Amino acid sequence: MNWRNLPPLTALRAFSAFAEEGGVLAAGEQLNVSHAAISQQIRALEGFMGVSLVDRSARQMVLTTEGERLAKSLRTGFGEISHCVRELMQVDANRAVQITATPRFAASWLMPRLNDFQTRHPDINLMINPAPQLTDPSPGGIDVALRFGTGIWPGLDVEMLVPTSMVVVASPSLVGSCDIQTAADLLQFRWLQELGTDETHDWMQSHGVIDDQVERISQMPGNLILDGVLNGQGLTITALSLVRDYVDAGQLQVLFQDEGDTGYHIVTRREAHRSSVKTFLTWLRRQAALEPAKR
């Protein structure tokens, strides 16, 4: 198809609306433009094609034979386009809301709250992908990513959900009476690390510990780490908001705490969202608003 030989789409739409509605005033209302704009687009279309599409000799404009022929083709073409668009939009509207989050955040924060969402919105299906890897939202794919960090992800809409600092925690039964003053003092313990991440080495390096000194690391899915730490199998680095209840109850001990403008964020594409996605985002914000104002 030679696209350059086709008239502008705006002119074709204006003419098709005129043919369907039977007048420039009604066509203008349908397209939310003035009747003068409709007349101008029709004249431009006639000029482009070199054919008279409208007979203006009478008081009311009517289609010429050529105009009738074009109107019929446009009615068929635009009708098929409209039908296809409606079908595709309906398919997307019925698609489950796809969410990605780390296994630890999904298990500790999201899952305990999901029953509330499903009770309020039983007609909306969710698909949760617990994975440590960062996956950007994309058309037809992930709708909402829940990420920890400082919120700097260019090209995406980012909104703070749960502000929280990072902490190193352990069971009091593990550390006992050990005098822990520096990050190097933690080398005597085993670390429990989320599978697919390098958070232990990253944290130790940021606190002046040489990477190859960290040897005792057990990797596992994030949703298993908390049980291991509570049972004294090792220590871990995590968001304070995910373990605060255990810290307050004395079941976990904070060994180090890194303050900063960090937290879990809502990450989405910069475009209009489906109704179901909007509903889920609104619910997330309300859940976060119920959180205590603690980092």
Buried b (16+ CB within 10 A) or exposed e, 128-140: bebbbeeeebeee
* pLDDT for the residue numbered 261: 81
Q: Point out which residues pair with 149 in neighbouring strands.
A: 263
Q: Point out which residues pair with 235 in neighbouring strands.
A: 191
CB 264 within 8 A of CB 147: yes
* pLDDT for the residue numbered 108: 87
Give the start-to-end residue ranges of the domains of the chain. 3-93, 95-164+262-289, 166-258
95-164+262-289: CATH architecture? 3-Layer(aba) Sandwich (3.40)
- pLDDT per residue as tens digits for the range 110-167: 999 999 999 999 999 999 998 878 888 888 789 999 998 888 899 999 999 988 888 9
CB 252 within 8 A of CB 230: yes
pLDDT lower than 70: segments of the chain: 89-92, 211-213, 292-295
Topology of domain 166-258, CATH: D-Maltodextrin-Binding Protein; domain 2 (3.40.190)
* pLDDT for the residue numbered 86: 74
SS3 call for 157: strand
Question: For 251, how many CA atoms within 13 A lie in the half-sphere containing its CB?
Answer: 11
Terminal alpha carbon distance of the chain: 60
Buried b (16+ CB within 10 A) or exposed e, 74-97: beeeeeeeeeeeeeeeeeeeeeeb
Spell out the residues 6+ positions from residue 160 whose beta carbon is closer than 8 angstroms to its own: 151, 263, 264, 265, 266
H helix intervals, 216-266: 222-230, 240-248
pTM of the full predicted structure? 0.63
State the chain's mean pLDDT as an integer.
88
* pLDDT for the residue numbered 141: 85
* pLDDT for the residue numbered 211: 60
**Are 95-164+262-289 and 166-258 in the same CATH fold?**
yes
3-93 has which CATH code? 1.10.10.10
- pLDDT per residue as tens digits for the range 174-183: 988 888 888 8
* pLDDT for the residue numbered 294: 52
Residue 8 CB neighbour total at 10 angstroms: 12
